[in-house]
């Protein structure tokens, strides 16, 4: 039986040094790479500097090391939150199994390059329809709870809360404090946004931050944050910076506010202004109602002043004689028609009596029938011995036939 290949079975395992050595050799073959990110930690020792380079769009980071002079002589002062480009070689330390990037060159990401990237992202999101005005959701007139994402104890938080409560004291806020500058801004704001969007009581969400430099506002043009705002089912108001500032989240949000104070004014109505508006509407509606009543009264007075309504029987009185003549003519014509028809019926009755059998019997004629009611028309109908009934003008008699005369 052949011995199993090393590292492929529990009977023939690799030692730790063999695994660590192979991993180090594999990583060493990667060569040098350029990496971009934000510094989140910086420790400078006598000869070596240690840093943590973080991806601003994801919760991932790398440990970075370099000679101390490389940090001291960097093209821009390095501090937490600085966006940099680094050139170095991945290394795996076999002694403790750690991975880091050994840096040989550091470059600052210039403002022009950052603005160009933001512009490319703006065109991409615009092409995908994230800025389409038809997708913007309307804000509720009076939200039950307003979600607020802002820095802790910041001027933006104070402005939104104070202005909103001055305008509508009953308004409630669900405040989520996050960092609003630096590498942790995007993940914290995204987490707060998801939490408030899932809350059924929150009817509108405000993302507020005061003014700052272009670099300070860069997290609010991050693609991850913009897409998260577009996914929200709750209307989102972006109040980042001041009027000239225009991060990409302003374009994705359902409403852009020039300042945090402007956001508070857009989100809740002014109670005093609404009361003035209600009073004005009541005054205008009462005035309109009175005008309508006066107008209807004038119309009724005009209708009442017309002769047909002022003296409704005058027209009938004027036509009374004509109506009486018409009634007399109708009565006369009906009587004449009745007389003519009565006379015609009398003539018909006389003719009927003249032509009827009773008149014939009165002139001396008789009607002879057999006992079964058959009228005799010939002598053959009454052979000898046939009982007969003879009807005359004043009654009927019975007889017996003796047959036809010889």
| 90-149: pLDDT as tens digits | 988 888 888 888 888 887 665 556 666 778 888 888 888 888 888 889 999 888 899 999
**pLDDT above 60: residue 1:** no
**pLDDT above 90: residue 236:** yes
Handedness of CA 61, 62, 68, 71 (dihedral sign): negative
Residue 25: CB atoms within 10 Å? 11
Alpha carbon distances (Å) from 67 to 33, 72, 105, 271: 17, 9, 10, 63
Which helix or strand (DSSP H or E) is residue 344 part of?
Answer: helix 320-355
Per-residue confidence (pLDDT) for residue 58, from 0 to 100: 67
Per-residue confidence (pLDDT) for residue 145, from 0 to 100: 92
Per-residue confidence (pLDDT) for residue 108, from 0 to 100: 67
**pLDDT above 80: residue 277:** yes
Give the C-alpha separation, 253 to 207, whole Å: 10
**pLDDT above 80: residue 49:** yes
Give the C-alpha separation, 231 to 226, whole Å: 9
For residues 51-56, give the mean pLDDT. 82
Long-range contacts of 133-140 (CB under 8 A, 24+ apart): 135/230, 136/254, 136/255, 137/235, 137/254, 138/235, 138/254, 139/204, 139/235, 139/237, 139/254, 139/255, 139/266, 139/267, 140/203, 140/204, 140/235
Per-residue confidence (pLDDT) for residue 98, from 0 to 100: 84
Per-residue confidence (pLDDT) for residue 287, from 0 to 100: 92
Cα 307 to chain centroid, rounded: 57
Question: pLDDT tens, 322-352?
Answer: 888 888 999 999 999 999 999 999 888 888 8
**pLDDT above 90: residue 153:** no
DSSP H helices, 128-168, are 155-167
Instruction: Quote the pTM value.
Output: 0.50
Taking Cα atoms as reference points, which of 355, 368, 337, 171 lies closest to residue 263? 171
Between 245 and 363, whose confidence is greater?
363
Structural Rg of the chain based on CA atoms? 58
Give the C-alpha separation, 205 to 198, whole Å: 11
Which residues, other chains included, contact 72 with Cβ-Cβ below 8 Å and sequence gap of 6+?
A: 44
Q: At what angle do helices 223-231 and 111-127 cross, to 10 degrees?
A: 30
For residues 237-255, give the mean pLDDT. 84
Instruction: Please provide the average confidence, as pLDDT, over all residues in the chain.
Output: 84
Domains of the chain, each with CATH number or no CATH: 16-109 (2.40.50.140), 115-272 (3.40.50.261), 359-400 (no CATH)
Question: pLDDT tens, 162-178?
Answer: 999 888 888 899 999 99
Per-residue confidence (pLDDT) for residue 294, from 0 to 100: 92
Between 401 and 151, whose confidence is greater?
151
The confidence band for 372, taking pLDDT boundaries of 50, 70 and 90, is confident
Per-residue confidence (pLDDT) for residue 285, from 0 to 100: 94
**pLDDT above 70: residue 73:** yes
**pLDDT above 90: residue 196:** yes
CB 94 within 8 A of CB 86: no
């Amino acid at each position: 039986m052949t011995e199993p290949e090393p590292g492929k079975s529990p009977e023939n395992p690799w030692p730790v040094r063999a695994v660590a050595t192979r991993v180090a050799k594999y990583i060493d073959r990667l060569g040098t790479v350029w990496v971009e990110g934000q510094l989140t930690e910086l420790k400078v020792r006598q000869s070596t500097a240690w840093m943590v380079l973080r991806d601003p769009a994801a919760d991932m980071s790398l440990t970075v090391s370099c000679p101390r002079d490389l940090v001291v002589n960097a093209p821009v002062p390095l501090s937490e939150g600085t966006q940099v480009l680094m050139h170095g070689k991945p290394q795996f330390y076999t002694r403790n199994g750690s991975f880091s990037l050994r840096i040989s060159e550091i470059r600052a990401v210039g403002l022009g390059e950052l603005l160009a990237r933001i512009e490319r992202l703006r065109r991409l999101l615009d092409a995908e329809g994230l800025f389409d005005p038809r997708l913007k959701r309307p804000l509720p007139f009076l939200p039950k709870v307003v979600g607020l994402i802002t820095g802790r104890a910041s001027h933006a938080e104070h402005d939104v809360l104070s202005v909103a409560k001055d305008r509508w004291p009953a308004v409630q806020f669900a405040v989520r404090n996050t960092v609003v500058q630096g590498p942790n801004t995007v993940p914290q704001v995204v987490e707060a946004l998801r939490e408030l969007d899932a809350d059924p009581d929150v009817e509108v969400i405000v993302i507020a931050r005061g003014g700052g430099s272009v670099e300070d506002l860069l997290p609010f043009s991050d693609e991850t944050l913009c897409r998260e705002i577009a996914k929200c089912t709750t209307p989102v108001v972006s109040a980042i910076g001041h009027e000239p500032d225009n991060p990409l989240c302003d374009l994705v949000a359902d409403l852009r506010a020039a300042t945090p104070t402007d956001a508070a004014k857009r989100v809740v109505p002014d109670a005093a202004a609404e009361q003035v508006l209600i009073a004005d509407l009541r005054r205008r509606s009462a005035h309109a109602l009175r005008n309508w009543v006066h107008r209807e009264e004038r119309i009724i007075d005009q209708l009442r002043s017309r002769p047909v309504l002022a003296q409704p029987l005058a027209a009938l009185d004027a036509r009374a004689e004509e109506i009486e003549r018409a009634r007399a003519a109708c009565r006369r014509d009906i009587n004449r028609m009745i007389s003519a028809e009565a006379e015609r019926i009398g003539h018909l009755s006389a003719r009927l009596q003249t032509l009827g059998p009773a008149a014939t019997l009165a002139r001396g004629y008789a009607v002879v029938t057999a006992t079964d009611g058959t009228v005799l028309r010939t002598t053959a109908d009454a052979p000898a011995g046939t009982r007969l009934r003879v009807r005359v003008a004043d009654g009927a008699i019975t007889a017996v036939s003796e047959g036809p005369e010889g």
